A and B are shown apart, each in its own frame.
Chain A
Amino acid sequence: MLQIKNLHAQIEGKPILKGINLEVKAGTVHAIMGPNGSGKSTLSAVIAGREEYEVTEGEIWFNGVNILELEPEERAREGLFLAFQYPIEIPGVSNANFIKMAVNEVRKHKGLESLSATDFLKLMREKAALVGLKDDFLKRSVNAGFSGGEKKRNEIFQLAMLEPKLSILDETDSGLDIDALRTVAEGVNALKNSENAFLVITHYQRLLDYIVPDVVHVLYDGRIVETGDKNLALKLEDQGYDWVIEKHKQEA
Chain B
Amino acid sequence: MFQEQLPALFEKWGKPELAEIAKNGSFPNRKVESWKYTPVQNIQISESEKSHLHLPFEGIILDSNTQAEGIQIGFETVDFPRKDIFDDFANESFQRVLTVTITRKFKSELPLIWVHQPTSVSTDCIKIIVQEGATANFVELYQGNQQLALTYSHILVEGKATFHHYQFQFNGFEAGMPQVLSKIYAQQHAQSTYQHTVITFDGSWVRNELNVTHLGEHLFTGMNGLYVADGTRLVDNHTNLEHAKPNGESSEFYKGIAMDRGQAVFNGRIHVFQDAQKTNAFQNNQNLLLSNEAQINAKPQLEIFADDVKCSHGATVGRLRQDEIFYLQSRGLSKETATQLLTNAFGAEVIEKIENQILRSYCLEAWNHKMGI
A binds B: yes
Using a CB–CB cutoff of 8 Å, the interface residues on chain A facing chain B are 48-52, 71-73, 75-77, 81-82, 84, 87-88, 90-93, 98-99, 101-102, 105-106, 109, 141, 158, 162
A81 to chain B, nearest CB (A): 8
Contact between A101 and B337 (Cβ–Cβ < 8 Å)?
Answer: yes
Q: Can you pick out 27 interface pairs between chain A and chain B where the beta carbons lie within 8 Å of each other?
A: A50-B326, A51-B322, A51-B326, A71-B335, A72-B330, A73-B331, A73-B332, A76-B332, A77-B332, A84-B327, A84-B330, A88-B324, A90-B324, A90-B342, A92-B344, A92-B346, A92-B349, A93-B345, A98-B331, A101-B341, A102-B331, A102-B332, A102-B333, A105-B332, A106-B332, A109-B332, A141-B345
- Cα distance, A158 to B331, chains bound together (Å): 8
Interface presence of B34 (CB below 8 A): no
Most buried by B among A71, A81, A92, A98: A92
- Cα distance, A147 to B330, chains bound together (Å): 22
Contact between A48 and B332 (Cβ–Cβ < 8 Å)?
Answer: no
Interface presence of B334 (CB below 8 A): yes
A115 to chain B, nearest CB (A): 14
Complex contacts, B112 vs chain A, CB 8 Å: none
Contact between B342 and A72 (Cβ–Cβ < 8 Å)?
Answer: no
Interface presence of B181 (CB below 8 A): no
Q: Which residue of A lies closest to B337 (CB)?
A: A101
B178 to chain A, nearest CB (A): 30
- Cα distance, A141 to B328, chains bound together (Å): 13
Complex contacts, B323 vs chain A, CB 8 Å: 88
Q: Which residue of A lies closest to B338 (CB)?
A: A73
Contact between A52 and B322 (Cβ–Cβ < 8 Å)?
Answer: yes
Complex contacts, B304 vs chain A, CB 8 Å: none
Using a CB–CB cutoff of 8 Å, the interface residues on chain B facing chain A are 322-324, 326-335, 337, 341-342, 344-346, 348-349
Complex contacts, A99 vs chain B, CB 8 Å: 331
User: How many pairs of A and B residues are in contact by the CB < 8 Å rule?
Assistant: 72
Contact between A90 and B345 (Cβ–Cβ < 8 Å)?
Answer: yes
Contact between B329 and A72 (Cβ–Cβ < 8 Å)?
Answer: yes
Complex contacts, B331 vs chain A, CB 8 Å: 73, 76, 98-99, 102, 105, 158, 162
Contact between B333 and A73 (Cβ–Cβ < 8 Å)?
Answer: yes
B343 to chain A, nearest CB (A): 10
Q: Which residue of B lies closest to A73 (CB)?
A: B329
**In-complex Cβ contact of B333 among A82, A88, A105, A141 (8 A):** A105
Closest 10 A-B residue pairs measured CB to CB? A92-B345, A72-B329, A105-B332, A76-B332, A102-B331, A88-B327, A73-B329, A102-B332, A93-B345, A77-B332
**In-complex Cβ contact of B332 among A51, A84, A162 (8 A):** A162
Contact between B330 and A49 (Cβ–Cβ < 8 Å)?
Answer: yes
B114 to chain A, nearest CB (A): 30
Most buried by A among B324, B326, B332, B345: B332
Contact between A48 and B341 (Cβ–Cβ < 8 Å)?
Answer: no
**In-complex Cβ contact of A76 among B322, B330, B335, B337 (8 A):** B330
- Cα distance, A49 to B331, chains bound together (Å): 12
A247 to chain B, nearest CB (A): 35
Q: Which residue of A lies closest to B321 (CB)?
A: A88
Contact between B335 and A91 (Cβ–Cβ < 8 Å)?
Answer: no
Complex contacts, A84 vs chain B, CB 8 Å: 327, 330
Q: Which residue of B lies closest to A141 (CB)?
A: B345
